[in-house]
Amino acid sequence: MDEALLWQQIEDQSERQPLITPGEARAVVALLRREGSPAADELAARIARRLPAEQ
């Protein structure tokens, strides 16, 4: 791939897609909470705060 084209794609932020779905993020939060370590709890809390409210 041409380097100029690569940089153009990186700089074009108009159509950013999420890396995972909200459902996948909720599953990650549940798994992290089961882990029980302080680092996992902190990461789960940070991810959960960014999730949209459940309906």
Would you list the domain boundaries of the chain? 19-55
pTM of the model: 0.62
pLDDT recorded at residue 26? 92
Measured CA to CA, the distance from residue 22 to residue 9 in angstroms comes to 25
Res. 55: pLDDT tops 70: no
pLDDT 10s digits, 2-31 = 787 777 777 766 666 778 888 999 999 999
pLDDT recorded at residue 16? 64
pLDDT recorded at residue 14? 67
Measured CA to CA, the distance from residue 41 to residue 32 in angstroms comes to 6
pLDDT 10s digits, 37-46 = 999 999 999 9
For 32, other C-beta atoms within 10 Å of its C-beta total 20
